[in-house]
Structures are given as C-alpha cells and as structure tokens.
C-alpha cells in the first residue's frame, strides 16, 4: 500500500481540455510537492505547498493543499501537448525528521 | 537543467557484477539523495547523505552502499547484481538536510542481463 495514492494512474485527453489529478493519504504532511517527469529524465519540481487550504498557481496549473494537509490536487486548464508527462506528488510527514515519500504518479498524455 | 549531474547515463552489465553510479550535487547543496525508479514500484527512496554523513536510510538493500565525499559528490555502489535491479537510479540534492524541495539529476539507466 502506497502512503500517497495518486489518481488516476493514466489519463489521455485532447488538447484544450481541463483535467484534475489527485494525491491522497491518511497521513498528515508538513509539506507536499508536485513534480513533472518526462521519459528518460529526472523529476522537475513544480511547486511546494505547506499550509492547509493553500492554493498556488503556475500559469495554467493550479495546485491545492487540503485543509487537513492529507491530500492535494493539481488542475490543468486548457491542456497542451507540452503538459504530457508523469506527475508525481511527494510529501514529508509531520513530526521530527521524516523522509520524503513519493506517490506512484499520474501518467498524462495530451493529444494534439 | 537542474545543476545535478549523474554518470554514466546508461549502464548494461551482467548478473553478479558490481557497478558504481556517480552524482555531483548542485553548487552549494550539501545533501544528496538516491532513489530507484522502476515501473511497478515508482520512485523509491534509498539513502540520504548530508555533508558527508549518512542522514536517512530508506529501502536500500544490503548489497547496495553509498558514500558522500569531502567534495560533496556521492557514489552509489551496487553489487551482486540481479535482474530485478534493472531500473532508473536518480540522485537529487538540496541545500539543507531537512527540506521541502529536492533537485533531481537526469538519472542512470541500469540494465542487468
């Protein structure tokens, strides 16, 4: 069982559509990050959220941290082929030193 | 470009062999992390070093070991390789030992035949 569950695992949509992917856990996190990874490359950090209810925007991407800091969502508006990739969420649990744990990711394909 | 470098990019070797993967962190970063990524397991944390000292251990096998040198580069040694060790190995770095954000290198693809 993954500490961070991401859904859906796979998503294929047409260019211009909107989408939301989710990252859920039963644990509380002191911070949560979203990364995008393209095939054969390392994950690239997109955003970090640390406060419950926090919303951050990065161009057409909107990230939200749940009020209880147990979940997060990533919404993409008007998806572009360049958004194609593996979206990973990663969280650090509260309390002392805790390593960062990654979800298994959502594989997004945006078809032109 | 994250500023983290990893060598080699690809490595093909036989079962039972030993390999060394190398990582240079971003300039100024003191902490180095190693991850293994396979299709079915996702990104699994192996080990973290901070300023030369082991800081945290994850799902690292006894056949694997790592170290961080005084110049802050790190090496991951994999021995008695098995087919199941075939995976992408990533190194990441950060400034502080406990941080929200890590910067990943391009990875080493290891294929064990």
User: Number of C-alpha atoms within 13 angstroms, CB side, residue B66?
Assistant: 32
Sign of CA dihedral B24, B9, B2, A102: negative
Give the C-alpha separation, B97 to B93, whole Å. 9
Distance from A90 to chain B by nearest Cα, in Å?
9
pLDDT band for position B1 (cuts 50, 70, 90): confident
Asked whether the beta carbons of A108 and A22 are under 8 A apart, the reply is no
Distance from A44 to chain B by nearest Cα, in Å?
7
pLDDT of residue A14: 97
Most B CBs within 10 A among A10, A36, A37, A43, hence the mutation to make, goes to A43
Give the C-alpha separation, A45 to B33, whole Å. 15
CB–CB of B100 and A50 under 8 A? yes
- Please give the interface size between A and B, counted as residue pairs whose CB atoms are below 8 Å apart: 55
C-alpha torsion angle, residues B51, B55, B58, B61 (rounded to 10): 70
Chain center to CA of A102: 10
Give the C-alpha separation, A10 to A106, whole Å. 6
pLDDT of residue B10: 96
Of the candidates B94, A86, A84, the residue with the CA atom closest to the CA atom of residue B104: B94
CB–CB of A99 and B92 under 8 A? no
pLDDT band for position B81 (cuts 50, 70, 90): very high
Give the C-alpha separation, B10 to B29, whole Å. 25
Q: Which residue of A has its CA nearest to B1?
A: A44
Please enumerate in sequence order all residues whose Cβ is within 8 A of that of A96, keeping only pairs 6 or more positions apart, or say none. Answer: none
Chain center to CA of B105: 9
pLDDT tens, residue by residue, B9-64: 999 999 999 999 999 999 999 999 999 998 777 889 999 999 999 988 888 999 99
Give the C-alpha separation, B102 to B27, whole Å. 13
**Positions of chain A with pLDDT lower than 50, given as ranges:** none
pLDDT tens, residue by residue, B23-38: 999 999 999 999 999 8
- Kindly report the backbone phi and psi dihedral angles of residue B84, in degrees, each rounded to the nearest multiple of 5, phi listed first: -70, -10
3-state secondary structure of A81: helix
pLDDT of residue A101: 86
DSSP code for B99: -
Q: Which residues of B touch A101 (CB under 8 A)?
A: 45
Q: Is pLDDT above 70 for B93?
A: yes
Give the C-alpha separation, A48 to A56, whole Å. 9
Give the C-alpha separation, A69 to A54, whole Å. 9
Residues of B with CB under 8 A from a CB of A: 2, 4, 33, 35, 41-45, 48, 56, 58, 90, 92, 97-98, 100-107, 109
């Amino acid at each position: 069982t993954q500490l961070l569950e991401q859904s859906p695992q796979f998503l294929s949509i047409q260019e211009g559509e909107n989408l939301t992917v989710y990252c859920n856990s039963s644990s509380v996190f002191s911070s949560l990050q979203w990364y995008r990874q393209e095939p054969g490359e390392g994950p690239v950090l997109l955003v970090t959220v640390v406060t419950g209810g926090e919303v951050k925007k990065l161009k057409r991407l909107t990230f939200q941290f749940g009020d209880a800091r147990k979940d997060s969502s990533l919404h993409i508006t008007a998806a572009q082929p360049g958004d194609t990739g593996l979206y990973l969420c990663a969280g650090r649990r509260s309390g002392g030193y805790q390593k960062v744990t990654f979800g298994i990711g959502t594989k997004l394909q945006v078809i032109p | 470009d994250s500023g983290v470098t990893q060598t080699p990019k690809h490595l093909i070797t036989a079962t039972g062999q030993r390999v060394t993967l190398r990582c240079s962190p971003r300039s100024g970063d003191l902490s180095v992390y190693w991850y293994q990524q396979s299709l079915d397991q996702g990104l699994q944390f192996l080990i973290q070093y901070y300023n030369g000292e082991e800081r945290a251990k994850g799902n690292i096998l006894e056949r694997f070991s790592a170290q961080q040198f005084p110049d802050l580069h790190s090496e991951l040694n994999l021995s008695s390789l098995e087919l199941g060790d075939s995976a992408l190995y990533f190194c990441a770095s950060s400034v502080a030992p406990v941080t929200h954000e890590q910067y990943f290198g391009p990875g080493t693809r290891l294929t064990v035949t």
